[in-house]
Each structure stands twice: as structure tokens, then as C-alpha cells.
Chain A
């Protein structure tokens, strides 16, 4: 129970988000009106997604570092190889969970866009296309992984591609939309989060919501990693038999 306090925190924060997200006060704005409440449910999906791809790239780089040491023959007792495998599993599973949250982010954004911007997909909006491209990069990551049979080669190429995909995602989603005109707040000529931040009612729910969704996504990630571990151990036992 002591180790799982953050799971309880996730449930508490998200329960708070659901209650206050609907019953709390929001600022009166034209066009947006009550849909501003989507801030707690749509925007937070991308916060969770970007946290997961950040976890993924960290472990991809750690994999490359440890694997590099193994290649140099510094791995005497085989522990480093085991660690490298672990890092590779964490890196891969983070992407899998990130893809789920990204898909939900795209779908919810589309619904919100229809009511405020009048279309399910604003074709010339750099943020939308950037997010779609970034999402596709991570789909390609999975395709690339599944197409390589050799485990070492697969992990290595995946880790290198991962760093590349992360940089591209950041450029597509967080840099280019700020240089061009985007319908999203904080991009182009639009006011950023500071405009919302002026409103303490939104902030009071938004920040706990971000943390709650991130913790929930990490919980799912932890379950997936543990599953992979069990599968590996089972395979190893069968190999010994």
C-alpha cells in the first residue's frame, strides 16, 4: 500500500476533476461557452501523452548508453545486458500507452473543433497537422519494431528512431504552431494559456487534472511493463526446461 500512494492520488485527483470539471465555475467566453470545460479532459490527454514520450526517450537513451557499454565488453556478469533489455521494454511500452492517449486527444480535439471552429479537422491548422504527423511517427515506430526480428538490432534501431521521433514531435507540436497562425491558444496570434491562467477557477481544476491524468497513464504503463516482465520470465523458464 505504501508503494501505491500515487495510484490513490491519481484516483482522488481525477474524482475531483470530474466533480469540479462539471460543477465548478468557468469564465464566460464567446463561442467557447461551456466547452471550456474540455480543457480538463482534452488538453490533459496531450499532457499525459507528452509525459509518456518523454519517459520513452529517456529510457531509449539509457538503453543506448548501457548497450554501448555491453558492446565494449564491459559486461562481465551479464547484468548490464539485462538492464538494457529492461530499458528497452520501458521505452517501448511508454510509446504504446502514449499512442492510446494521443488517439483520445485527437478524437476529443476533433469533437471540440466541430463546435468551436466549425469543422472536425481544420486542414490548414499547423497544430492539428503537427499532432497528426507526430502521432504517425510513433505508429511508424511500432511498425519498424515489428519488422525487425533480431532482438538487439530491433532495440537499437528503435531507440535511435525514438530520439528522432521525439524531436520531430516537439518541433511539429510545440515549435512550428507557435511560428505560424494556429487556432489553438498560445500559437500564432492567439493568446496563450496566460489568458486562461488569469482565471483562477480554471487553474484550480486544470493543474490537478493534468497531474491526475499523468499519474493514471503511468499506472497503466506500470501494468504493461510488469506484464512484459512476466512474459520474459516465462519464456526464459520454458527455454531452460
Chain B
């Protein structure tokens, strides 16, 4: 378990701290209590990787444009 997983788990524990384990019949069924441990943080990590990839790609395009713009100025 690396540091980022630990941070995520810790933040999850803090966030779910306020949630109640008891479910009342009249309330809508949310991902609280036992369901909060449904490994949603895996999805978050996957999405962060996807987003990091897209941002990296955008930065690459941005830098390439910078280089072309400099060449054109000459």
C-alpha cells in the first residue's frame, strides 16, 4: 500500500465518519454505511489517471505549439 492509497483511505475514513450505519426505511438508499466500503476510491484513482493522461497530452500540444510559434518568429 503506497502513500497515496493511504491518503485516500484516510480521507475516506474522515469523510465517512459523519455517516450513520443505521438505515431507516423512509430514507433514500445511499452509498453509506456498509456500502461506503465499496472501493469507490479505485474508480477515483482510475479517473485521476485518465485525467492526468489528458492533461499531459494537452501540455504536450501546448509546448509543441510554443516551439512552432518561436520558429515562425525567426
* Interface residues, chain A, with chain B CB atoms under 8 Å away: 7, 11, 14-15, 18-19, 22-26, 28-34, 219-220, 223, 226-227, 230, 233-234
- Residues of B contacting A223 in the complex (Cβ-Cβ under 8 angstroms): 58, 61-62, 65
- Residues of B contacting A233 in the complex (Cβ-Cβ under 8 angstroms): 72
Cross-chain contact B44 with A33 (CB below 8 angstroms): no
Which listed residue (A18, A25, A31, A34) contacts B48, Cβ 8 A?
A18
Interface string of B44-74 (1 = CB under 8 A from A): 1001100100010010011001001100100
Cross-chain contact A23 with B68 (CB below 8 angstroms): no
Which listed residue (B18, B27, B47, B69) contacts A28, Cβ 8 A?
B27
For residue B11, CB closer than 8 A to chain A, the reply is: yes
Give the shortest distance, in Å, between A65 (CB) and chain B (any CB): 28
Cross-chain contact B15 with A23 (CB below 8 angstroms): yes
For residue B41, CB closer than 8 A to chain A, the reply is: yes
* Interface residues, chain B, with chain A CB atoms under 8 Å away: 8, 11-12, 15, 18-19, 27-32, 40-41, 43-44, 47-48, 51, 55, 58, 61-62, 65, 68-69, 72
Which listed residue (B27, B40, B43, B55) contacts A11, Cβ 8 A?
B55
Cross-chain contact B29 with A33 (CB below 8 angstroms): yes
- Residues of B contacting A26 in the complex (Cβ-Cβ under 8 angstroms): 30
- Residues of A contacting B55 in the complex (Cβ-Cβ under 8 angstroms): 11
- Residues of B contacting A234 in the complex (Cβ-Cβ under 8 angstroms): 72
Complex: A34 Cα to B35 Cα, angstroms: 12
Cross-chain contact B58 with A230 (CB below 8 angstroms): no
Give the shortest distance, in Å, between B36 (CB) and chain A (any CB): 9
Cross-chain contact B28 with A28 (CB below 8 angstroms): yes
Closest B residue by C-beta to A17: B51
Closest B residue by C-beta to A24: B15
Complex: A11 Cα to B53 Cα, angstroms: 12
Cross-chain contact B30 with A18 (CB below 8 angstroms): no
Which listed residue (A22, A30, A32) contacts B40, Cβ 8 A?
A22
Which listed residue (B41, B51, B58) contacts A220, Cβ 8 A?
B58
- Residues of B contacting A220 in the complex (Cβ-Cβ under 8 angstroms): 58
Cross-chain contact B44 with A230 (CB below 8 angstroms): no
CB within 8 Å for A14 and B51 given contacts A19-B44, A230-B72: yes
